[in-house]
Structure 1
């Protein structure tokens, strides 16, 4: 904006105040800023957001952001705001719900841009008529300081984790550009970044530059040289594909599935990540192992002693060692597979009841995240029931991050779960707090900690509870539910995990679910494909009392089929044995699902053929890999894990 017009605005505002007349909403000079952040870039387009922060003493009652796109760019989409476009100039005004901004608070809107040539940020920006950087109208020409203490925070055979200390600026630092030699390989708003697609056993040199809202760029940081490893378990496969498996705490009981089974089946060598399920969320918004009501299972987590035959390394536990149970066995597994990452998954179907309480306020989010990091990242486990296990730091280093499994923000999960209309925004704020505390602690100990989340399949639940693509500003990746699309809670048989909508599906249109429609629901809202990891099932769902027609598909049923542990559900390793016992296998190759039927009982399930098909779909669609619920459903030889592993390979 020309300087003369800005001076006129100041004079007019002063005159209005002198006359006792209310002026326009607070300007940038009064502490309002609008900060540009690019969130993704695929070479022919990018997604970004502007964050409007009220640094003044009075509330905003509305805001307008005007920015000019660089030459060769075109706005393709915009969300969380009302906009008009004139040539390269974009004008964005608040919508009804995000126009009121209290002092110290912030809101944001996102947008997508297509472009040709090299990326360039918007060339001008004003918020409520004033420069977006909060300056008094003079152009900001001061560059940020160079980022300090650039360091390697971890490496695999194909990636390097980098971290650095924040740069400073006369207004504000808006982002960082990461360089591999002279080539920029990434942009982030965080003080950490993972460079992927690298060659094994190779040394790479990196630098980082800081940027501000005016486009000023700092001098490069001091370079750091980091070497990739020679491979092994936990390393993403070709194309950086992730292979994430859930290990269930309770699987060590009836199923007898121990951490050792991950090694003897060959599964550990094929995984990049394990999600340990689940950490518990209390009514007052804290992570806990065992609460006052005795809920929780410290015995399975870190007290149970394993003998030599049950142990990953063939060495039995002693009674008085400070850490035993699953946690100690995971530590041993990671010693065999140093690139394997293990994240602690919080919530799940049962323990999501009080997530809304934990995420409700800034204070509750800070306290909740701190309690989770204290237990599982810092490893400060309580001593419980007179057992010798537990104590400060006994589990430190076991977990590489946190997985958020809130089922579901803003919509019903298990009956009795707390649900609030503000869950959708609070979920994003909770992720931001996890990211802030994980990065801060990671800087202290020289590690990069991951943050992931489990995301629903139902488009209605996506809309009700998730600010896509905002959440991916904080997540390393999200695992997307590709199963439980139908089940015995319905009275008509159906698939539980089809790639495409099955022709003839009798469900209402809004409930004709498929993996394809779910992925499109996320990408249509701006989710980056490479950060979506497709969930696949190692179990099946069944009905009994089924009408004997159409091979049992889309037929009425009287109840859920008898299962080994629970009605209407059973593990693959159990279902595969039904073949030859009166059941026939049926397969829909076009839609991508299979089922078993014996004339009265119907099971929808995934065998190695269907899991290979789903893994190849994820690979071919450019998704970030596959996730398994849950590993204990596989055979002793790990035949399903092998199918997923091979299907993701080129």
Structure 2
């Protein structure tokens, strides 16, 4: 056999081969059953969910980068926010923050394919697989177009399709829909935020349209989850107000669709309230003039449960910031002065309108935080006390909430501290809730590390213990990348390797174009090449970067080569590896694996084969066939009524074989690289003759072969089984059938614990 002088392999062909082999060896054993996507089942692990605002990287938040997040304490990280228009097209709220700025990542340049928060949080998750990452869509100032896409099927479909593309390009784990609020009309507050949309087009129909939108997202997430082999989650942000919930949210239907709901149990009182009160209390205090409004965690939880919410999907909120009034009467209580007392409008917002609110930590600016609301980050509470030294800290043991009050100035600040979040976290455990959310990470306080983690860590330890959070499996999508290997002889001999990124830019929307570019660019590549016995590879030119040998691999790291740090869509990159041999054979390069990083110090983002793996383009002049396999054999006792396991001894040749072809009754049924194969899907009590032939890299098949004749066993007949009785603890997928009260029902989507026939719009469809 002649030696192959050039080998090329595309990752696409390798992936198809891998999928095919997986399907025949694993899925084949379950007959015609198929994988069905469904909402993630509720885990016994409680959730510690954190929001991270895209403005956190700028000076106003002290340049708080994703790498500084205490990710080891979190189960979910929400990137806030992504915007959209009335046609369902996605929009950045801050493009530089999302995909432009280096955000403190080592070796990342402005505008690079690995720049911005969206890439940095992927790097953060790679180092902390306990933490899932997701996108929060909408928010207080960007909910104005929800009503439009909710009622318009075309716009809604476009929105859902775009969100699916976005989370695929950014490799996210969940979508968080933050519609504030369905059926609630609100004018834009341009004093607070010049980009605020308000919700001027809200309408009663939003209540049902909200559910429709969520169901469309659920269906799309499940479908895409099957395609990319991961299970996506769907969450929502809900108001704490019972009035807003009643008018805009069908609680029972919503909780039947989502994996969990983040209840915004904060901002329940503030500068808009004419008396002081807690803004994020665990329990309602009957002394509160607005006690009947239910503005506490416990009152909101009880309301949600009464409306059909599953307890273990309820995730309650903690606030990492204060709300404050500028002048509040002391009242008559000596132990809790100032609490639930009348306030006076003796302060002004940026537009000079009167307000009850106290000064903020940041200066007022019309269009950018122009409302005086006494907002101070938790990390700045000590600075607030220093600014107003007459403030005294008090504890309301009924509400389980702290506050600051000055009898001298009348200032009153409601906030969260270690004691209050400890009580909330214990409440979550005691009441079998789903966990806690927090707004927001940049406002937490540093402890013994540089990370802002005091409240974050407290909640994690109470809910999940002091140990490490269980890791998740991170699924990475392979790129369409191929490698070409050719010999060279110049100042020695070696291999010239060309990497081709075959991805093509398709998106035109600003958000999708940027995230597609990031996803489909090879970033800070590192290549793994198995070491051939007796051969050592070193850098053949500067373009090979750092070349090392360890653990049976030669590694080629291009992080130090400016031109090689990114290989964009459609681009190629060539480097050389020098061999210690006097002559080289490209067959010595058995395969090449590619891994990427988001930063020079980042974790590797999975591996993919881009060369080798058995799928090769042979040299047409290679005409010598390998020798035949021998000793084809099978254990008759292992032959079943529908399957025949085969095995044989490997062939030998001067260069080697590429694989084996298996024939059943003269017809080729499989091509395998190993020395065994199980033929399935056969007919019982039937004779079959199998022949196996070896073939080489040129595709030449051996002239001789090994043959075996077998007869399958008689079929075992199992009587058909009808639908089983409905089981409240069992998980049912779409089209599964059950019987209940003498009727047969079919599942319309994934469900667990929902009684068949109990609700008209529920997950069950009456069959008979």
Q: TM-score range by the shorter chain?
A: 0.5 to 0.7
**Aligned residues of 1:261 and 1:636 also touching (Cα < 8 A):** no
Aligned mates of 1:283, 1:633 — CA distance in 2? 32
**Aligned residues of 1:350 and 1:414 also touching (Cα < 8 A):** no
Kindly tell me: are residues 484 and 255 of structure 1, through their superposed partners in 2, closer, same or farther at Cα, counting changes over 3 Å?
A: same
Q: Partner of 1:334 in structure 2? A: 125
Kindly tell me: are residues 593 and 627 of structure 1, through their superposed partners in 2, closer, same or farther at Cα, counting changes over 3 Å?
A: same
Aligned mates of 2:429, 2:418 — CA distance in 1? 16
Q: Partner of 1:524 in structure 2? A: 306
- Shift in Å, 1:149: 7.3
- Shift in Å, 1:635: 1.0
Q: Quick check: 1:377 aligned with 2:160?
A: no
Aligned mates of 1:361, 1:493 — CA distance in 2? 42
Paired residue for 2:275, among 492, 495, 499? Answer: 492
Paired residue for 2:428, among 614, 618, 626? Answer: 618
Q: Partner of 2:621 in structure 1? A: none
Q: Quick check: 1:554 aligned with 2:340?
A: yes
- Shift in Å, 1:192: 2.9
**DSSP 3-state at the match of 2:376:** strand
**DSSP 3-state at the match of 1:412:** coil
- Shift in Å, 1:621: 0.7
Q: Partner of 1:210 in structure 2? A: none
- Shift in Å, 1:401: 1.7
Let me know the Cα RMSD of the aligned residues. Answer: 2.6
- Shift in Å, 1:409: 0.6
Q: Partner of 2:148 in structure 1? A: 357
Q: Partner of 2:384 in structure 1? A: 578
Q: Quick check: 1:241 aligned with 2:51?
A: no
Aligned mates of 1:166, 1:474 — CA distance in 2? 27
- Shift in Å, 1:258: 2.6
**Aligned residues of 2:80 and 2:135 also touching (Cα < 8 A):** yes
**DSSP 3-state at the match of 1:359:** helix
**Aligned residues of 1:166 and 1:191 also touching (Cα < 8 A):** no
Paired residue for 1:403, among 176, 186, 193? Answer: 176
Kindly tell me: are residues 407 and 167 of structure 1, through their superposed partners in 2, closer, same or farther at Cα, counting changes over 3 Å?
A: farther
Q: Partner of 2:14 in structure 1? A: none
Kindly tell me: are residues 286 and 535 of structure 1, through their superposed partners in 2, closer, same or farther at Cα, counting changes over 3 Å?
A: same
Instruction: Could you tell me which runs of 5 or more consecutive residues in structure 2 were left unpaired when the two chains were aligned.
Output: 1-21, 189-197, 346-355, 363-368, 448-452, 466-768
Instruction: Could you tell me which runs of 5 or more consecutive residues in structure 1 were left unpaired when the two chains were aligned.
Output: 1-147, 153-163, 169-175, 177-189, 198-238, 290-295, 380-395
- Shift in Å, 1:499: 1.6
Q: Partner of 1:192 in structure 2? A: 38
Aligned mates of 2:31, 2:244 — CA distance in 1? 38
Aligned mates of 1:400, 1:348 — CA distance in 2? 19
1:625-636 aligned within 5 A: 625-636=435-446
Q: Partner of 1:222 in structure 2? A: none
Map Cα deviations across residues 41-84 of structure 1 (whole Å, 9 max, x no partner): xxxxxxxxxxxxxxxxxxxxxxxxxxxxxxxxxxxxxxxxxxxx
Kindly tell me: are residues 319 and 278 of structure 1, through their superposed partners in 2, closer, same or farther at Cα, counting changes over 3 Å?
A: closer
Aligned mates of 2:42, 2:254 — CA distance in 1? 21
Q: Partner of 1:301 in structure 2? A: 98
Q: Partner of 2:258 in structure 1? A: 475
**DSSP 3-state at the match of 1:455:** strand
**Max Rg structure:** 2
Aligned mates of 1:150, 1:337 — CA distance in 2? 34
Map Cα deviations across residues 516-558 of structure 1 (whole Å, 9 max, x no partner): 1100111101110001111111111000022233411122222
Aligned mates of 1:288, 1:578 — CA distance in 2? 36
Kindly tell me: are residues 421 and 621 of structure 1, through their superposed partners in 2, closer, same or farther at Cα, counting changes over 3 Å?
A: same
**Aligned residues of 2:284 and 2:398 also touching (Cα < 8 A):** no
Aligned mates of 2:25, 2:311 — CA distance in 1? 28
Aligned mates of 2:222, 2:256 — CA distance in 1? 13
Q: Aligned pairs, how many?
A: 397
1:140-539 aligned within 5 A: 191-192=37-38, 194=40, 239-253=44-58, 254-260=60-66, 262-263=68-69, 267-289=70-92, 296-306=93-103, 310-311=104-105, 315-319=106-110, 321-374=112-165, 376-379=166-169, 396-397=170-171, 399-413=172-186, 415=188, 416-417=198-199, 418-507=201-290, 509=292, 511-539=293-321
Aligned mates of 2:269, 2:132 — CA distance in 1? 31
Aligned mates of 1:601, 1:151 — CA distance in 2? 70
Map Cα deviations across residues 113-147 of structure 1 (whole Å, 9 max, x no partner): xxxxxxxxxxxxxxxxxxxxxxxxxxxxxxxxxxx
Q: Partner of 2:701 in structure 1? A: none
Kindly tell me: are residues 536 and 414 of structure 1, through their superposed partners in 2, closer, same or farther at Cα, counting changes over 3 Å?
A: farther
1:16-55 aligned within 5 A: none
**Aligned residues of 1:286 and 1:372 also touching (Cα < 8 A):** no
**Aligned residues of 1:505 and 1:512 also touching (Cα < 8 A):** no
Paired residue for 1:589, among 397, 404, 417? Answer: 397
Q: TM-score, normalised by structure 2?
A: 0.49
**Aligned residues of 2:114 and 2:120 also touching (Cα < 8 A):** no
Aligned mates of 1:431, 1:601 — CA distance in 2? 43
